[in-house]
Amino acid sequence: MNSMVMILYRILQKKNASQIPRILANAIDFLETHYDDYAQDPVFLKDIHEIGAVISTIVQPGINVELASRLLPLMRANHIPIRMASHITAVGAAFNFVSSTINHSCDPNIFLFFEGNQIRVRSLKKIEAGEELTRCYTPEHLCIVRRQPWLKHGDFFDCWCRRCAEEDKEIRALAESGGTTLGEFTRAQVSLDILLNNTRSAAATPNIYPPGFSDCNYVEQTLVELATEPMRIGEWPGHIDPMPSVRLTLGGLMVGQGQVSRGTQYALRGKLVCRRRSGPSWVNEMIELTMHSLAAYSVQDSDSPEFADPRVPTTRDADILLCGYLYRVRSEAVKWFGVGTDFYTRVQDLFNATTEGRNLVHRLDSAEFEKEFTVAQEKFLKWAGIPAEFGIRLRS
C-alpha cells in the first residue's frame, strides 16, 4: 500500500502543477479501477478513504477526497513492479499509462525492466504481426497455487492460460502418483513458498534472521519435512516450483554460514534441475549460483581432506565451471537485456574480473576449453546427484 500512496501523491502533485497533459488525464479515466471489488473489503475501503483524506489535505487543501480515494484503487490495479535488470524480485512500484494497458499471461511474450528512468520492453519469444503483447503480473517463479490467488485477489480475474493448464494437469498427476491428495500437495507448495521467502530474507540480511533461520541445518530439515510429508510414494520432483528457488537460496545461505560444499550441491540442484532454462531470471539466478556458491567453492583449501576423494570436484574444476557459466551468462545477458544496458556492462565487467583472475590454460571460445568445461561440469553434476541431461551448454 505504501508504494501506491507514493504514486498517488506524485500524480496529484503533477496534476496540481499542470504537468499531466489533458489527453493523458482523460485516458487515465478509462482505466479499470476495480473500486466496487475493493469496496467488498470494509477494512480496505476505510483505509483508502482515510489515506485519500490525508493526501488531499497535504497536496491541496480542499481537493475532492472522493477523487483521491478512487485514484488509490486505480493505482493498485494498474501499477507495474519496478524490476531492475540485476534483481530477480521487484524493488518498488510505478505507474505508466502504456504499460498499464498490457494484459496478463503467466506465459508472457514480453517483460519490462527499468534502465535508469526508462522502462525497457524486451521480447521473450517470437511475436507475430498483430499478436497481443502480454506481461506477467506475478513473480515468475510462483507456482499455480500461488499465482492464481494473487491474480484473483489483486486483479480480480481467473487465469487459465497455457502455463496454468499445464501446471494444473501436472500437479494433479503428481499428487495421484505420489499417493497424496491435491489439497495436501498444494498446501505443501504454499509452505515451501513461505520457506523460500524466509530463506531469502536470511540470506540477504545475515545479521537479522527470521526465527530459526540463523541455522541453515534447521532450514534444510524444514525443507526435507515439507517436501516428504505429502509424498507417500517417491520424492518431491526437483523441477516443481518453488523447489528450485528454495534449493538455490538455501545453497547460498549454507555457503554464507561456512558449509561451502554442501551449499554448492544445493545451489546446483536448485538452478540446474529447473524448468526455466533461459530468460532474464535465468541470468540473475546463474549469477547468484556462480558468484556465491561456485566462487566460494573455488577458493577452498585444495589440501583439505575432502579433496582426497577423487569423486569430489577440485578447485580447478570449479574455476573452469565458474568461467564457463559466466561465458554463457554474458551471451544470455545480451539476448535478454541488450548490449547497451547498464546491466550488460556490469555483467561484462564481472566476466572480465572473474576470468582474468583464474589460471585458465585455454581461451573460453576455444574447442579445448569446451572439452575442459564438459568434463568439469560432468564431475560436478555427478557429485551433486544431478542427471547429466540437466547440464548447461557452453554456447546457446
CA separation for the pair 158, 355 (Å, rounded): 47
Q: Give residue 291's pLDDT.
A: 93
Rg (CA), the chain: 24
Element (H, E) at 122: strand 118-123
CA separation for the pair 281, 141 (Å, rounded): 9
CA separation for the pair 51, 65 (Å, rounded): 9
Q: Give residue 130's pLDDT.
A: 95
Q: Does residue 292 contact residue 259 with C-beta atoms inside 8 Å?
A: no
SS3 84: strand
128: containing domain = 81-135
242 part of a folded domain: no
Q: Does residue 136 contact residue 106 with C-beta atoms inside 8 Å?
A: yes
Question: Do residues 92 and 73 both lie within one domain?
Answer: no
Going from the first residue of the chain to its last (396 residues), give the mean pLDDT of each consecutive group of 10, the final group possibly shorter.
74 78 82 83 80 71 67 84 84 86 94 91 95 93 90 90 93 85 89 90 77 86 87 79 93 93 97 91 95 95 92 96 97 94 94 89 94 98 97 92
Domain C-terminal end among 236, 253, 285: 236
89 part of a folded domain: yes
245 part of a folded domain: no
Residue 349: all three cell numbers together: 565487467
Q: Does residue 199 contact residue 253 with C-beta atoms inside 8 Å?
A: yes
Question: Do residues 71 and 184 both lie within one domain?
Answer: no
183 part of a folded domain: yes
Dmax (CA) of the chain = 77
Question: Do residues 191 and 125 both lie within one domain?
Answer: no
N-terminal to C-terminal alpha carbon distance within the chain: 41
Closest CA to 380 of 326, 331, 322, 330: 322
98 CB-side CA count, 13 A: 6
Question: Do residues 308 and 390 both lie within one domain?
Answer: yes
CA separation for the pair 393, 396 (Å, rounded): 6
Phi, psi of 235 (to 5 degrees): -115, 160
Question: Do residues 308 and 396 both lie within one domain?
Answer: yes
| Beta bridge pairs of residue 274 | none
| Beta bridge pairs of residue 343 | none
CA separation for the pair 234, 211 (Å, rounded): 31
Q: Give residue 233's pLDDT.
A: 61
Label each residue of 162-200 as H, E or C.
Answer: HHHHHHHHHHHHHHHHCCCCHHHHHHHHHHHHHHHHHHH
Question: Do residues 191 and 212 both lie within one domain?
Answer: yes
112 part of a folded domain: yes
Q: Give residue 46's pLDDT.
A: 82
243 part of a folded domain: no
Per the structure, the count of domains in the chain is 4
230 part of a folded domain: yes
CA separation for the pair 248, 255 (Å, rounded): 11
257 part of a folded domain: no
Question: Do residues 149 and 34 both lie within one domain?
Answer: no
Question: Do residues 318 and 389 both lie within one domain?
Answer: yes
